Amino acid sequence: MKYTFEKKTYLIPDDVVDNYVDKYDISIAEACEMYLADNDKIKSKEEEELTNKAAKNAVTQTIHKARGEKKDRKPREKKENPLKKEIIQTIFEAIANNLVDKSKIVVENAEKYINFTIDDRDFTINLVEHRTKK
């Protein structure tokens, strides 16, 4: 079937047009335009609208990204907590004096973790200080 669209003539298989008409319940002209749009011969109205919208959005994104250089952040300084160190040391001494040899106890972080092994079983104590509730 020959179909003319915007002063151009296209050759479209009849069986495809019939299939589109039956399947989507549309006219022959709409089926021809659908076939041409599916095969990238023409651009459909919806496709053009979406392309234009995406192009406008890309410009907007470019504007929002172009805000200048970001300031360098200072490295985070960790505050020392002597109370937590004291608690970890007390727990370390209690475990070492009562349960395990000191060589099997590992203090990973002096304010946070103690790892130790008893009878081939591994344990970790994690010390967490909670904030006061308002």
Torsion of CA 113, 116, 122, 127, to 10 degrees: -20
Domain residue ranges of the chain, discontinuous segments joined by +: 2-65, 82-126
pTM: 0.42
Which tens digits make up the pLDDT trace of 47-64? 788 778 877 776 666 666
pLDDT digit string (tens) for 70-97?
778 889 888 888 998 899 889 888 888 8
Q: What is the pLDDT of residue 62?
A: 64
Q: Classify 11 as helix, strand or coil.
A: strand
Residues 6+ apart with CB under 8 A from 44: 33, 34, 37
